[in-house]
Each structure stands twice: as structure tokens, then as C-alpha cells.
Structure 1
Amino acid sequence: MANRKMILRIFFDDAKNPHVEAPIGDFFGVMHGEDAYDINTPFISVKQYSGYNCYFEMPFARNARIELETGEEASTCYIQIDWHRYPDQQMQETRRFCARWRKENPTKRYGSDFLMLDAMGQGQLIGFFYGLRLIDNVDRWSHAGADNIYIDGQGDYPAYIRGIGGEDTFGTSYGGAHHPPETHLDAGIPYYEHEDIGEARRVQRLVGYRFFTKDAIPFRESIHMRFASMQNNICSMVYWYQNGEPVEFVKMPGWEALLPDTPLPGGQMDVLAHETGAWRLSKVLSNQGNAAIAESLKTPLDNLTLSDDWEVYPAVHGFVDYNLSDRPHVYGVGVHHQPAARKAQALFSVDEDTEAYLQVAFDDHAVVHVNQDQPIDLGNHTSFRSCEIPIKLVAGENLIQLTLSNTTGTNNGGWAFAFKLKSNSGMILHPSAVHSDE
């Protein structure tokens, strides 16, 4: 447990927020309070008997500060730091290394997935470790899908990456069950144990990792990452580069909550501040024979008020993911509503009549309503792609509704869209938080 009783923080160039903050063991991929297990990657190398090694490049222009904080218990640590000084060269690199740890115990069954990363600015995702301890005794399922990565939702080229299964993320298959611990350069499951938590059954405790060395994941404006989860004990360690200081999306809990089995409900570590307005989501509609899409194309909206009985959904970086709101309570990988459709509504306020451009990225079939104008068919995208259309907004509040269908498609049932509304002057318009009458 010692490596959960020491926190590593790294600051570059007089930053107020740490670029790196994590329990010391988790930073090196050693999770669940274990002392050590073999890890062999280009960035992290762990030898037995607590030989932790890190090879990330960590550029800085003026200074770097490394801190180790411990609790009341005395701790001993030996550390060696290698660095280069270039006194005759001006530093050109603007990106800084960042890393964050997050824990949730227990996560929600069929919930909104485990949050791993939320970052603003320009940068590149490098990789992550993912630690899971199965405690669910209902579905007895270690995951519920895989990684979901939302990139540049309000940029010019939004992207959505959706994995097909948790084990596939780490380069294995069939749920990773009976998996021998192994470590490879870019992906692996270096720690895998079965334990008994009561009745006689196999209960997984594992750690997997994935590094994007040959398949880089850059972002220009934002990145948000989640991992599908059931009701289990989960932690993660994510590494990335970005320009400027990272904006906090998690805060380190108290010392007791750091320990592997201590409860830490979702939200207690989170300080998410990147929500981009509230949407209202309808119930899931049947789209057999494309009926729901065809119906949405028939007539304009009846009125210009939000549907009060629809679910309130705060978008993050312009993304709305229906799967995070309502997923079938069915055991299986990539289970989703299909054929289905769902509507999302939001209000946008302007001071005067305004011409604007609406950019929507999605897959499957989408229809948009703007106030009580005729509905606009955005077409059917076979993969996640953007389209842009000119629209007219009137002074005051404007109601925009988007209807999106869902099939299995090329992204295994992903059901998300990225939304950006920009005036001709270049201002990005965000949805109002609530209806003006509320």
C-alpha cells in the first residue's frame, strides 16, 4: 500500500496547477496498491522489487519542480532525475507533459462511463493505464464496452473514437478472461489476478495499458475520454502533452480515499468546468424502417419552447452522447438501442437577427429543425463526419432540435454528435443553461 501513500507532483515554468499529479505507484502503472509487476513499454518500465522507471520527454523553458508528498506515515524514496541543459539555444517546444490519476469506487452500473481525461488546448494523447477490481455481483462483468474519445467538439474537425470492447483496447480478446499477465511495447495487461470475494467464483483484478506511439491522437482544442464501466472499483492514469497549463478536471482526494478499497463515489474527485450548455434529450424512439427520421422530416416544430419532461444533458466541448444518457441494461459488448432515433433540443440567444453557420458531426442519419422553419435533412453519414449549413437566427431565443438515428455502423453502435453554432462575426454560440421561463 506504500505507493498509494505518496503523491507525485511536477510543475513546469512556474505553473500554478501541477502538470502531473498522481499517487507515485499509479504514475508508473503499478495500481491496486501493489508493490511491483513487470512493465515494459517505451515510456514506463517497472522491474520486480519496486524498480520504477519513466522515460517520457518533459520539456521546460525556465524551471521544473518535482514534489513528493506523504501523509502522517513516514516514507522513504530514492529518486534519480536525468535532464539536459541547453544554454545556447532558445526553446521552441511549446507543449508540456501532463498526467492525471482518477479513481471511482464504485462506478455506476450501466451509467455514463468512467471519466479518464478532460483537457483544453492543443496537444496529443500519449496513453493510459486502466486498473479494475471487479466487485459487481449482479452482472459479473468487468467492463461494458471500451474507450470513448471525443476530440475537438467545437473545432473545425471534430472526431469521435469508439472502441469495441475493453479487452480489445489492450490488444487481447474474449473479455480478457483467464489472461496471463504480459507486457508488450504499446499494449498489454501486466497484472491479472483472480480473487475470492465471498462465493466461489472468478473475480478479476487487472491492469491494462495502451500507448499511442504509432497511431497518434492529436487534438487542437479539446479532448474528453471515458471508459465503459459496470459497478466496479476503477482507477486510471492518463498521459498527454498540451500547450500551456492543464485546466483541472480532477482534485486529489484525502489520504484515506487513495487506498485501493476505500469507497470514493463518482463526482467527488471531479471539477469539470468545460460544459458547453444544456440540452434536453427525448426518450429513445423506435426507428424501424427509418420511421422516426421520416416523421421528423415531415413538418416544422409545433412551438418554440423546450420540452420540460425531457432529460437535461450538459454537453462537454460541444459533444452530446446518447449512449451516456440511456443504454440498454443488457449484458454484452457494444449493446445499444437499434434501430432507434432520439431528439435533442437547445435554446440559443442572440441580441439581433443574425446569420450563422451550423456545424454538426455525426454518423447515421440526422435532421435539424431551426425554430419553425422547414426541417433540414443533414443526410446519412456512414462514419463520423461533419457538415456545415447556413441558418438564420432571430433576435431573442432560438430553438434548435436535432434528431439522430442509430445503427451498429462502423463504430459499433456509437450514438453521438458534435455541435458548433458560429455567427458570421466568428462568435461561437452556446446553448442557454435553462429556458427563460424557468
Structure 2
Amino acid sequence: MLNDICRIQPGIKTKRISSYDRTGRNADYITIGIGETADIAVMEGAGIVKHIWITISCEDTFIRRNAIIRMYWDGEEHPSVESPIGDFFGQGWGEEYSFISLPLAAAPLKGKALNSYFAMPYGNGARITIENQSSEAPIRCFYYYVDYEVHPEMPASMGRFHASWRRELTGVHPESGENEWGTISPQEPNPSVEHNYVFADIVGTGHFVGINYYVDSPGPMWYGEGDDMWLIDGEDWPGSLHGTGTEDFFNSSWCPNELYAHPFFGYARVPDKLGWMGRTHCYRFFLQDPVYFDKSLHASIEHGHDNSLALDLSTVAYWYQTEPHQPYPELPAKEQRSNMPEIGVADVHKWRHEWRKARGNSGTLWGNEE
């Protein structure tokens, strides 16, 4: 990855657009009012965005979901990047926490510094915007750097960077219910992608380079028996790439529930409740092994084997492709991006109470009776 660091490249200029105080004082930020959209960087000609750094001060504690980052290349109408700002940089659920990977990071203080090192080429101008969709407060202080290169021209072989946020509250089969690990009854096979969670549905030529995967599980069962399934250029199931389980897809094993940070993969957030109940953030970047496609890519993952679990799933997928790209589904309104209620100890106790009543309300029921 460092092969080109020693290459002398005449004609390339390094530039920065930042929020520095144009008066020379120390108010090195901009303010983005409620409902406002700010252009934080507008570039002309050809170039490559090399690094983005952002930090935010806002009284709205959910601003990482309520602020939207968008990026436009070459004068396009529909953004190539569209995501809540926290999810894009590697923080789910509107939370602040540290996140370490090679292309993206949330750095000290306590994850407040958002960084991207993805290369983002353009041939005829670029624009990066931030929309404050909060109804509670302006973004009082928005600090940023956009570091980029100016090139004489951009080769036609350079793809454009894309990122898209998706979310789904997954459902389960009415007959079998939440039946992971065959706990309730024997599980059925799943020889299709029909009911999977889809994290990328792309038309064009390019390569897939990464995913941030945010899962909120309302129950204690392991959420990760889901296989990843990739259908390339319109092929049928099982496709060119077919996985063996969620943790396997994220390069770990045996139902992990611990923090781990590798440059390419890891677990940036894990729950500390009962089993795997709560919020887990997994990530995987395909920097050495991109998934190539010539016409299209349909990438999905089961939510439990045979899609047997109700989960709150949200993802940001990252890829490069030729333009024009297929416009993304309309971003859900901010009310639809709010978190599901947290399930806690009291909820589990209430479940146990109802279970006890359903079994005769004996004073000595333990909890594992059939």
C-alpha cells in the first residue's frame, strides 16, 4: 500500500479546504442552522479527495444520525455518498465511541474526531455537503478539513467513490418464529436471497470495498448465523461468493462478543447484557480483496439462519464504480432513523413473569422447563 509513496509526481498540487477563521481569529468553525445545508467543500477541475476530518459540537445528542453527509462528483444530480454522518465514519445509533480501521476512524477525544482516508477521485468538480436535519438545535460548531489533490486530468479508469446507508427492522416467519439454533423447532433451508437483508444493490461496473454493519438485537440469542450472499452480474443463487455465518464474514469466529480492532475488520462496539442482546458494530473492508462486478452487484446477508430473527439492522456500504450510478432509495425521514427502545433487565424479568403465569405460576419454576 506504500509502494507509491516514493514516486515523484510533478504537476499534482496539494490543497485543503477547512473551517479556519477567515479573520485570523480562533473561531475555526462554521455553524449549520436547523434545517440548513452547508457546502463544506467545492472543488473545480480534476482531483482526488484524500482525507476528511470532522468534529461536531451540538446540543442535539443524536446529531450523528440527524446530520447527513453527501458527496457529488462531476456535477451529478444524485449524490454518490449519502449517509447519516456518524454511520458513515463508523459510529452507529447516534452514539460516540472510538473506532479504528485503515480507511475510517473515530479518534480521541472519545470518538469525537471523525476521519476518512478513502481516495475519492473526480474529473470535473466535486461538492461535499452537510445537512442538519435536527429539529432541536443548530450545529453550533462544525470543524472540518478536506484535504485533496489537484490533478491535470483524471484517467478514465478511475472509479468514483460511493457510499449508501440502509436500515431495516427485519421480520421473522410467522409459523416458526424466532427459531435460531433450532431452539424452537427444526430449521428450514434457505436456498435464496429473497428474505435477506440487502446491503448493496448496484448497477454499473466497479468493485465493492467495505461495510459498516450495525445490529441491535432485542433478544439474547446469537444474531450471527446469517450467511452473506453475493450475486454478481445478474447470476442466480448461490452466486460467486457465499458465506458460512455473520462472524465468518467479519473475519472472526465462534460468536464473538469482544472489542477487536484490525485495520481491515473488527468489532468496534459490543453489548454488555444477556448473551448478545443489544448493539453490536462489526466492520469489514475489502482493501486487498475487492469484490469486482462488470454489470451489477446484489449483496445481502441473512438475519439469523433462514432469516429467523427480528433485528434492527443498518449498514453503510462503500464501493467504487463508473458513473452514472443508480439513484439510492430515498433516505428515511429523521423520525424513521431513531433507535429502537433498548431491551434491559426489567424487560427480561417481565418476560419471565409471563412465562411463569403460562405454566401454572408455581413458586418453584426455574426457567428451563419445557
Give 1:257's aligned residue: 336
| Alignment partner of 1:193 is 2:271 | yes
Aligned residue in 2 for 1:13: 74
Pick one of 44, 47, 57 that aligns with 2:119: 57
Residue number in structure 2 paired with 1:160: 240
| SS, match of residue 167 in structure 2 | strand
Q: CA deviation at 1:94?
A: 4.2
Amino acid at match of 2:247: E
- The answer to whether the aligner puts 1:78 opposite 2:143 as a matched pair is yes
TM-superposition CA deviations, 1:319-346 (whole Å, max 9, x none): xxxxxxxxxxxxxxxxxxxxxxxxxxxx
1:148 aligns with 2:213: no
Letter in 2 for 1:225: A
Deviation string, structure 1 residues 354-411 (Cα, Å, up to 9, x no partner)? xxxxxxxxxxxxxxxxxxxxxxxxxxxxxxxxxxxxxxxxxxxxxxxxxxxxxxxxxx
Measured in 1, the distance between the counterparts of 2:253 and 2:235 equals 34
Q: What secondary structure is seen at the aligned counterpart in 2 of 1:83?
A: strand
1:45 partnered with 2:45: no
Inter-CA distance 183–68: structure 2 relative to 1 (3 Å threshold): same
> 8 Å contact 2:222–2:276 — kept in the other structure?
no
The answer to whether the 8 Å contact 1:19/1:245 transfers is: no
Paired AA for residue 67 in structure 2: M
Amino acid in structure 1 at the alignment position of 2:161 = F
Any idea what the Cα deviations from partners look like across 1:27-66, whole Å, max 9, x if unmatched?
A: 0111122112232x22112213311110111000111111
* CA deviations over 1:199-249 (Å, ceiling 9, x no partner): x66514211011112222110000001111021111001000000032124
1:203 counterpart letter in structure 2: M
Hey, what's the Cα distance between the residues in 1 that align with 2:125 and 2:227? 38
Q: Distance in 2 between matches of 1:260 and 1:93?
A: 40
Q: Which runs of 5 or more structure 1 residues have no equivalent in the other structure?
A: 264-438
Aligned to 2:197: 114
Question: For the aligned residues, what is the CA RMSD?
Answer: 2.3
| Residue 262 to residue 255, structure 1, CA distance change in 2 (3 Å) | farther
Give the whole-Å Cα distance in 2 for the aligned partners of 1:26 and 1:142: 20
Structure 1 residues 201 and 188: alpha-carbon distance in aligned structure 2, compared to 1, 3 A threshold? closer
**CA shift for structure 1 position 90:** 5.1
> Is 1:206 the equivalent of 2:280?
yes
TM-score of the two chains, using structure 2 as the length reference = 0.63
Give 1:215's match in structure 2, choosing from 289, 297, 302: 289
Per-residue CA shift, 1:396-433, capped at 9, x if unaligned? xxxxxxxxxxxxxxxxxxxxxxxxxxxxxxxxxxxxxx
Aligned partners of 2:334, 2:324: CA distance in 1, in Å? Answer: 25
Structure number with greater CO (CA < 8 Å, separation at least 6) is 2
1:12–1:182 distance in 2 versus 1, CA, 3 Å: same
Indicate how the Cα distance of structure 1 residues 154 and 234 shifts in structure 2: closer, same or farther if over 3 A, else same. Answer: closer
1:240 maps to which residue?
319
- Displacement after TM superposition at 1:108 (Å): 3.7
SS in 2 for 1:85: strand
Please give the alpha-carbon distance, in whole angstroms, between the structure 2 residues aligned to 1:254 and 1:134. Answer: 22
The CA deviation at 1:193 is: 1.4
- Structure 1 counterpart of 2:253: 173
Q: 1:193 to 1:12 in 2, by over 3 A?
A: same
Offset of residue 148 of structure 1: 1.1
Q: Which residue of 2 aligns with 1:98?
A: 162
Aligned partner letter, 1:132: V
- Equivalents in 2 of 1:252, 1:169: separation in Å? 26
Conserved? CA contact 1:152–1:159, under 8 Å: no
Please show how residues 397-408 of structure 1 align to structure 2 within 5 Å: none
Structure 2 CA distance for partners of 1:251 and 1:216, relative to 1, 3 Å: same
Report how far residue 107 of structure 1 moved.
Answer: 4.0
Letter in 2 for 1:104: E
**In 2, Cα distance between the equivalents of 1:100 and 1:124?**
14
> Among the aligned pairs, what percent are the same residue?
28
- The runs of 5 or more residues in structure 2 that have no matched partner are 1-61, 179-193, 304-308, 343-370
Which residue in 2 is equivalent to 1:123?
A: 206
- Structure 2 Cα separation of the partners of residues 78 and 93 of structure 1: 33
| C-alpha displacement of 1:154 | 5.7
Instruction: Identify the residue that residue 345 of structure 1 maps to in structure 2.
Output: none
Residue 165 of structure 1 aligns with an amino acid whose one-letter code is G
Q: Distance in 1 between matches of 2:235 and 2:255?
A: 34
Secondary structure of the residue aligned to 1:59 is strand
Aligned equivalents of 2:122, 2:157: Cα separation in 1:
8
1:132 lines up with 2:215 in the alignment? yes
Please tell me the residue identity of whatever aligns with 1:60.
Y
Query: Which structure dedicates a bigger proportion of its chain to strand?
Result: 1
Distance (Å, rounded) in 2 between the aligned partners of 1:170 and 1:181: 13
- Answer whether contact 2:168 2:314 (CA < 8 A) is retained: yes
Distance 1:219 1:202 in 2: 35
Distance in 2 (CA, whole Å) between partners of 1:102 and 1:52 is: 20
Counterpart code for 2:144: I
Report the count of equivalent residues. Answer: 251
1:163, 1:224 → 2: CA distance?
14
CA distance in 2, matches of 1:201, 1:143: 12
* Aligned counterparts, 1:377-396, within 5 A: none
